[in-house]
Structure 1
């Protein structure tokens, strides 16, 4: 194998694949990246047997070839190079010679024979979404994914394609985030649960332009990332979480007694300040509504008390509800719009934060002793 390429292009490729390649596994080959040089570039492939990634790097191929090289070592090496261009030559024994300006390195590789092949899939049944929209869906919902491994079906992001839109839902049982965006599908309805690790890797790839194709097959899904010119830049394949996602519609209140419009930044800042006096044992703030006023209060034994008042337009009955401040800050930090609505019924019913018609966040109240 002999190839020449831009250092920054190869660095970007290794940056994406080295997150999936795992050098600590009992299978050493999974700590390597498969390099396949042919045609107009080199393809980098990595897998941990749950998530796989393949990315194409434009290169000048002088001699076609295939090998595997240690992912983390290559990433660290390329990152430190100062010359914008580099050359890689790989011998038949998989010893790689790397030239960059006045620098020269030898990296010991391994045969591609034992490297797991990524599964093949048919693109006939697919769903299409703008990369920016998927990026927005993940940003607005993924923080609510459960980290409790005993609740397996909640350890991922639920995605549903229907009626020309894609719906994303995440919940940990104490709060639920819902968002939707326009999407094009070749089927009338398809739904699946994508694991957290796949979500993390997809987030690193997504850009503000171009499209992403979803291709479900068997118990897996392939994501094909296309540039603004329609060129395939990257493919990520992930296993899906088996099981049925809870009926999220049942936890969304159908009626509300009170609703206020809030400045998102002002509300976030107030919650952040009041939360300073909370701790793990008393991690709640009480939000009270009275005529044209919202009051945030936190009282923690052995710590102190904090109180914030925010004038607003409210004419309903007086009510107090306690929430976990971290759950409030999570949603407020991950929205961009200047205003949000907060809906509520009583002290023991969930509150709902809305942002237009395409986002809502259900948060369970906390009991006050």
Structure 2
């Protein structure tokens, strides 16, 4: 194996694939990146057996070959090299059956890396693309961006550690929740092919790679097998295992009878919550919101710490009501609202409140469960 590659292309490929390499690998070979040199490109691949990432970058290949080299050292080497061509070559003795030895040169810098036999590297899942569908990467990235923040990070309910992607012919819905907050967005598919009606539960780490790796204008080829999902373009691929099990019926928790509505400027609301949250208790992050005609008050009282108050103007007509919320959840919801104004609906202090853009995107909704207000 022998090839030359620019430092920029090397860093691009390593940065993308190293994200799929586990910090602590169950199998030693998973700590490596598979490098396949052929024709006029080099394909770099990494996996933790749940997510598989592969990216082709241009290179001058004088001798084809394949090698598995340690990801962390490769990435660190690429960061400290001069801005000059980087040359890879099989070290004296070649690529042996029981491992790999590769010399790396850049200017006057020299490195020799010892890897593992490339045939030990796991194969990517086999997914037939003929039954798949197409979708613009930017469109999918919008769905991911608006929902992924609400996914659970706790191990008590593993199914909530995934993001639900529902495909219903020409319509798609993406949902994430941790049981205390929920984000839901729906869209009409603007691509070719009509995916079969199905529900997919996808690890957010895989969708995060889709956000990072694909330019918005890329047309993705998406296909699934029984246990895996693939996102493909001309020069890169992301495969992921699917989370098995039924996703909770999220429609049951979205209130249909909220009879109170308030409209408020998103930035003003976010700023006020951020201010008073400085005094919130670290465990609950409780903030009290008081709705009155034309005025929204904020109050935080934390024993042995202190208190804070603030207020903003809003459009609200109805009886006075106080509701407690987790400030962190409120700020995350507001950060992902696309409009200047936010429409809030609620019914009672113990009932879920909804947040949506005041205009423009009726297909996007977030829900936050209230906290009990302590007198």
Q: Is the 8 A contact 2:67 2:95 kept in 1?
A: no
Say whether residues 1:294 and 2:296 are aligned partners. Answer: yes
Unaligned ranges ≥5, structure 1: 227-231
Q: Following TM superposition, where does structure 1 have runs of at least 4 consecutive aligned residues deviating by more than 6 angstroms?
A: none
1:92 aligns with 2:95: yes
Matches within 5 A, 1:1-369: 1-22=1-22, 24-90=24-90, 91-93=94-96, 94-183=100-189, 184=191, 185-224=193-232, 226=233, 232-355=234-357, 356-369=361-374
Cα distance, 1:24 vs. partner? Answer: 2.7
CA contact (8 A) 2:183 2:365 kept: yes
SS of residue matched to 1:235: strand
In the alignment, is the contact (CA less than 8 A) between 1:354 and 1:361 conserved in 2? yes
SS where residue 244 of structure 2 aligns? coil
Return the offset for 1:188.
3.9
User: For the residues of structure 2 that align with 1:324 and 1:368, how far apart are their CA atoms?
Assistant: 11
SS of alignment partner, residue 34 of structure 2:
strand
Task: Report the Cα distance in structure 2 between the residues aligned to 1:219 and 1:120, rounded to whole angstroms.
Answer: 10
Please say if residues 323 and 364 of structure 1, whose CA atoms lie closer than 8 Å, have aligned partners that are also in contact.
yes
Q: Which stretch shifts more, 269-278 or 208-217?
A: 208-217
Which runs of no fewer than 5 residues in structure 2 stay unpaired?
Answer: none
CA RMSD of aligned residues (A): 1.6
Tell me the SS of whatever aligns to 1:78. Answer: helix
Question: Conserved in 2, the CA contact under 8 Å of 1:23 and 1:30?
Answer: no
Deviation string for 1:283-318 (max 9, x for gaps)?
211111112111111111112221111122222111
Compare 280-289 and 28-37 and name the one that shifted more.
280-289
Distance 1:281 1:155 in 2: 21
Indicate if the aligned counterparts of 1:277 and 1:304 stay in contact, CA closer than 8 A: yes
TM-score scaled by length of structure 1: 0.94
CA 1:304 to 1:120, structure 2 compared with 1: closer, same or farther past 3 Å?
Answer: same
Measure the CA separation in 1 of the matches of 2:26 and 2:256. 51
TM-score (norm 2): 0.92
In structure 2, relative to structure 1, the CA distance for the partners of 1:113 and 1:137 (3 Å cut) is same
Contact 2:265 2:314 in 1 (8 A): no
Question: Counterpart of 2:318 in 1: which secondary structure?
Answer: coil
Q: Counterparts of 1:134 and 1:335 in 2: how far apart (Å)?
A: 17
> Does the 8 Å CA contact 1:129/1:182 hold for their aligned counterparts?
no
Quote the Cα distance in structure 2 between the aligned partners of 1:327 and 1:281: 13
Structure 2 SS opposite 1:76: helix
Report the Cα distance in structure 2 between the residues aligned to 1:305 and 1:127, rounded to whole angstroms: 54
CA distance in 2, matches of 1:293, 1:234: 52
* Partner residue, 1:229: none
Say if 2:166 and 2:174, in contact at 8 Å, map to a contact too.
yes
> 1:223 and 1:112 mapped to 2: Cα distance?
24
2 CA distance for matches of 1:23 and 1:273? 37
